[in-house]
Amino acid sequence: MSFRIIVLAKQVPDTRNVGKDAMKADGTVNRAALPAIFNPEDLNALEQALRIKEMLNGKEEVEIIILTMGPTRAAEIIREAMYRGADKGYLITDRKFAGSDTLATSYAISLAVKKLAPYHLVISGRQAIDGDTAQVGPQIAEKIGIPQITYAEEVISIEKNKITIKRRLERGIEIVETPMPALITVHSSAPACRTRHAKMMMKFKHARTITEMQEETKDYTELHTARPYLHIDEWSVADLDADVEMLGLSGSPTKVKKIDNVVLQQKESKVLTSNDKDIEMLIKELISSHVIG
Amino acid sequence: MNNLFVYCEIEDGIVADVSLELLSKGRKLANELKCKLEAIAIANNIKGIEKQLFPFGVDVVHIADDAALYPYTTMPHASIVINLIKIEQAQVVLFGATSVGRDLAPRVASGLKCGLTADCTSLVVGDHTENKTGKEYKNLLYQIRPAFGGNIIATIINPETRPQMATVREGVMKKEKISSEYKGEVKIIDFKKYVKDEDFVVKIIERHIEQQKINIKGAQIIVAGGYGVGTKENFNLLFELADLIGAEVGASRAAVDAGIVEHSRQVGQTGVTVRPKLYIACGISGAVQHRAGMDQSVQIISINTDVNAPINKIADYAIIGDVSTIIPKMIKYYKENSK
């Protein structure tokens, strides 16, 4: 039996670099203008999976599966992971997932993970930058009933049925040991992911989902029959045998009552220059109002 | 039944600040909801821990005290909390948005199939009418948080499911004692009923936890530097000014990423949230992520060469110019004018 690692990844809008083009005239963010990227901590997670594969080289045959949930376009990050060393990809996609909160999302992904059993490890980023919740990983672990190691920074060692991990906490570190299967979420302080490999890019450039193939004019049938690893499987609600009531809005206990765009509010601010008179006036004022001194 | 619970983090027998902050907020919310405030304390050797909790207005402390329960590991704590919440039918449960709370709360939420909102910056009691059905809900917990990298503020509610759960970061709520005379009740959790042997499979081999040495969270005055400060030498000017006026030095993510200062000084969404009485932002442009961590400061002074920097819009005083010329002048005039 091969040693299977499932890497969970998400395609996210790049909320960290909101440039001038993404700002609307009213000071709010135009979300459609943000580029879609591989969630940064999920890349840290992929790197850990690749390192485990290297650590087990010669001992176990390691297979790295990349699993994501999202629209057709999310297949982009599956290919990206393949260019960096993942072996096979699965895309969970269905309109019925729309509106899912973390609980409903973790339900859908946990079903897909179960379908990929037997596996040794499930590895994901600690959190995605569009929501920053860090909830989906632990919720999947609870649903499957396996241990979770969050905030992982480094895999220290791996043995037949045991993995030792360094965790990065706010005020220190912790080294923990867990039996497998287990779920690990990786912190941004972990090593960055290696770059694309030219050979892998050649190998996987024609990897497609069925929907992508239908949308393109090129005929992939022959190529995909000869090289089955190019086929990115799409799983729908039916494929996962999921209870529709537990998905989307009906499966989500949290509801968004209101969204307020952050608008830079103009305070009544005094603009000062760097000349001595201005600075002295300011310091005197701060002292006399007991803010400093 | 139907009370408000706070999961308390405990390190070396001391309740964490973030938990005391949550109890302070929880007390006010419980008053509005006309319910009790209950605390959950799970650790080892914590006899008398209630003395740390009652002054914050805690009515009931649930204690599980055992060597196997400390230091924190996910599954035993999750099993205990899940079972306790089920039996007590909690209305609201709050956790710190720390590496413990953010590890535990989602596992508990999944077990209870209830909603959880991460990293709330505000918690408010309010009503809700469902648009489609016209159904009315009274006294829900509005869980308010920034999302989308801080570019939007979302108000989240759980109309149907209980408990309503949220995590809140350290420093976001104010820590306020009610009275050192406040007396609650201690209840011992019969935790052995709730944990299974499999819950203890994760072993902690090593642990190095340091008391935070740099305390920008508690500082009354913060002199913070960003990428615009430029060099380590210029940052030393910030330290000099901070020393003189009794301030701590903070930093933006850009300055931390550039390796100029350590991460523990970082203010903002991925750092610490601060609310000092004076915040001096030097060479910080003021990205939303940074502002989210400091815009509650009582007074803000910005020093920036760019008159259009976003930070200037929330500043009380915007000094347009270079940090390396302005800070020495501030030092000079402080020395001349202070007694």
Please answer yes or no on whether A134 and B326 come within 8 Å at the CB atom: no
Domain presence at residue A290? no
> What is the DSSP annotation of A141-183?
HHHHT--EEEEEEEEEEE-SSEEEEEEEETTEEEEEEEESSEE
Whether chain B has a CB inside 8 Å of the CB on A39: the answer is no
What is the average per-residue pLDDT within A276-289? 88
Considering only CB atoms, A253 lies closest to which of B158, B287, B312, namely B158
β-partners of residue B136 are B129
Q: What is the ipTM of this complex?
A: 0.89
Cβ atoms within 10 Å of B208's Cβ, excluding its own:
10
- What pLDDT, on the 0 to 100 scale, is given for residue A77? 98
Residues in A closer than 8 angstroms to B115, CB to CB, are 101, 103, 252-254
Q: Which of residues 58-117 of A touch B (CB under 8 A)?
A: 101-103, 106
The CA R_g of chain B, rounded to the nearest whole Å, is 22
Q: Cβ–Cβ contacts within 10 Å for residue B4, how many?
A: 28
pLDDT one-digit tens code per residue, B269-300:
878 888 888 999 999 999 988 998 998 888 99
Nearest CA in chain A to B271: A170
SS3 B199: helix
Q: How confident is the model at residue A289 (pLDDT cuts 50, 70, 90)?
A: confident
Band of pLDDT at residue A101, cut at 50, 70 and 90: very high
Confidence class of residue B209 from pLDDT cuts 50, 70 and 90? confident
Yes or no, beta carbons of A138 and B154 under 8 Å apart: no
Q: Quick one: pLDDT at residue A209? A: 97
Q: In a mutagenesis test of the B interface, which of A26, A31, A103 is the best target, namely the one with the most B β-carbons within 10 Å?
A: A103
What is the reported pTM?
0.82
- Express each pLDDT in B244-272 by its tens digit: 888 899 999 989 888 888 888 999 987 88
Q: Given CB atoms, is A228 within the 8 Å cutoff of chain B?
A: no
When mean pLDDT is compared over A203-207, A261-265, B333-337, the highest value belongs to A203-207
Residues on chain B touching A264 (C-beta within 8 angstroms): 310, 313-314
Residue of A100, A166, A177, A283 for testing the chain B interface, max B β-carbons within 10 Å: A283
Minimum distance, in Å, between the CA of residue A279 and any CA atom of chain B: 6
CA distance B50 to chain A (A): 25
What is the distance between the alpha carbons of residues A66 and A70, in angstroms, rounded to a whole number? Answer: 13
Chain-chain contact of B208 with A103 (C-beta, under 8 angstroms): no
What is the Cα–Cα distance from A283 to B8, expressed in whole angstroms? Answer: 42
Give the residue numbers spanning the domain of A201: 3-246
Find residues 178-207 of chain A whose CB sits inside 8 Å of chain B.
178-179
Percent of all residues in chain A with a pLDDT value above 70, rounded to a whole number: 92
Indicate which CATH number applies to the domain containing A177. Answer: 3.40.50.620
- Distance of alpha carbon B46 from alpha carbon B9, whole angstroms: 12
Residue B52, domain CATH? 3.40.50.620
Q: Which residues of B touch A147 (CB under 8 A)?
A: 74-75, 201-202
- Nearest-CA neighbor of A7 among A40, A50, A36, A37? A50
Using a CB-CB distance cutoff of 8 angstroms, which residues of chain B are in contact with residue A31? 148, 151
Q: What is the pLDDT of residue B277?
A: 85
Beta partners for residue A185, in sequence order: A124
Residue B190 shares a structural domain with residue B233: no
Q: Which region among A238-242, B197-201, B287-291 has the lowest average model confidence (pLDDT)?
A: B287-291
Report the domain count for chain B: 2
Q: Is residue A259 situated within a structural domain?
A: no
End-to-end CA distance of chain B: 58
What is the total count of domains within chain A? Answer: 1
Distance of CA A192 to the CA centre of its chain: 14
Q: Given a cut of 90, is residue A52 above it in pLDDT?
A: yes
Asked whether B116 and A106 are in contact (CB, 8 A), the reply is no
**Cβ neighbours around B66 below 10 Å, total:** 16
Would B273 be classed as within a structural domain? yes
Q: Are residues B123 and B86 in the same domain?
A: yes
Is there a single domain that holds both residue B32 and residue B163?
A: yes
For residue B161, list chain A residues with Cβ-Cβ distance below 8 A. 253
Mean pLDDT of chain B: 93
- Tell me the shortest Cα–Cα distance from A238 to chain B, in angstroms: 22
Tokens of A52: 């485990």
User: Would you say residue A220 lies in a domain?
Assistant: yes
Taking only the tens place, the pLDDT of each residue in B292-336 is 899 888 899 999 999 999 999 999 999 999 999 999 999 999 988
Instruction: Find the domain containing B187 and state its range.
Output: 4-200
Query: Which pLDDT does position B33 carry in this prediction?
Result: 97
Q: Over the stretch B155-184, which tens digit does the pLDDT of each residue have?
A: 999 999 999 999 998 877 888 899 999 999
Are B283 and B317 spatial neighbours (Cβ–Cβ below 8 Å)? no
B98: closest chain A residue by CA: A170
Which amino acid, residue A70? G
In a domain, B210, yes or no: no
Q: Are residues B282 and B173 in the same domain?
A: no
User: What is the pLDDT at residue A293?
Assistant: 66
A267 touching B (Cβ < 8 Å): yes
